[in-house]
Structure 1
Amino acid sequence: MTPVLVDANVLIDIATGDPEWAEWSAESLMQAGRDARLVINPLIYAEVSVAHSRIEALEALLPEDVFHREPLPWPAAFLSGKAFLAYRRRGGVRRSPLPDFYIGAHAAIRGYRLLTRDQGRYTTYFPSLDGISPQ
């Protein structure tokens, strides 16, 4: 089955027991992991790391035998720049590319599905992206 890139918000929901999203995120992650290889990249790892004071705690949360780690593909950097340019032209106010543009571009370039609860933002800038998100 097609690999699934797991967005940081899903992992943070689970790690923090978010009252609104933890259940959906945990169930969706478990289901995706049954059917496909789960993937994270350095940006996702960095976003999740913010809540942890020690790398050992983060490593325990994101074991390599469960979450395959991939570098960001160079074509994803190009695509994220183009998505960021489209964002700015639509009136976006951020001055530098957000991690979300890189995460969406990584999934799009590799042809991965993206497990996220923020699907709207990704489909706006990466319309071919196949996402797993709340209805």
Structure 2
Amino acid sequence: MTAVDTSVLLDVFTADATFGPASRDTLGACLAVGTVRVCSVVWAETSAFFPEPDSAEAAMTALGAAFNPLDLRSADLAGQAWRSYRKRGGSPEHVIADFLIGAHASLQADRLLTRDRGFYRSYFPGLTVVEPAVG
């Protein structure tokens, strides 16, 4: 199972000229080998770009992505990782949502499809990160 990050979904849904084709192709490759799941945080961030919740759900379904809520273990891991980040002097650039996404992928999926690979590799070292190849 592949968890997908907001950046990739928005690339696809907005037909981003720079990242859209690579994100669409990589998402398709992930779907070809298994399921693609969207955690609560990514769902909320992505659905905000649609005029109504039903249209967001329809778009996700058409894409082949399904909702997969965060469980308690993932929430706890996110909190611990965020605390470590802040103790090390991490700036508020990465908010708790980023840590929830990483923890969900670490514990509830096999990998994470994202364009923000450096951050996730730093705070979730065992996480397999898949990045769309642009160019």
Give your verdict on TM over 0.5: yes
Q: Which has the higher contact order (CA 8 A, sep 6+)?
A: 2
Paired residue for 1:76? 74
Find out whether 1:27 has 2:25 as its counterpart.
yes
Paired residue for 2:48? 50
Flag as ranges the 4+ runs of structure 1 deviating above 6 A. none
Find out whether 1:60 has 2:58 as its counterpart.
yes
Q: Does the 8 A contact of 2:23 with 2:132 survive in 1? A: no
Paired residue for 1:6? 4
Unaligned segments of structure 1, at least 5 residues: none
Instruction: Output the CA distance in 2 between the equivalents of 1:31 and 1:134.
Output: 10
Classify 1:123/1:43 alpha carbon distance in 2 versus 1 (closer, same or farther; 3 Å). Answer: same
Q: Does the 8 A contact of 1:83 with 1:101 survive in 2? A: yes
Instruction: Output the CA distance in 2 between the equivalents of 1:72 and 1:45.
Output: 11
Instruction: Output the CA distance in 2 between the equivalents of 1:110 and 1:72.
Output: 8
SS at match of 1:63: helix
Moved more, 45-54 or 62-71: 62-71
Paired residue for 1:117? 115
Q: Does the 8 A contact of 1:111 with 1:129 survive in 2? A: no
Instruction: Output the CA distance in 2 between the equivalents of 1:94 and 1:24.
Output: 29
Paired residue for 1:131? 129
Post-superposition shift, 1:74? 0.5
The alignment-based identity, stated in percent, is 34
- The count of corresponding residues between Structure 1 and Structure 2 is 133
Q: TM-score, normalised by structure 2?
A: 0.90
Unaligned segments of structure 2, at least 5 residues: none
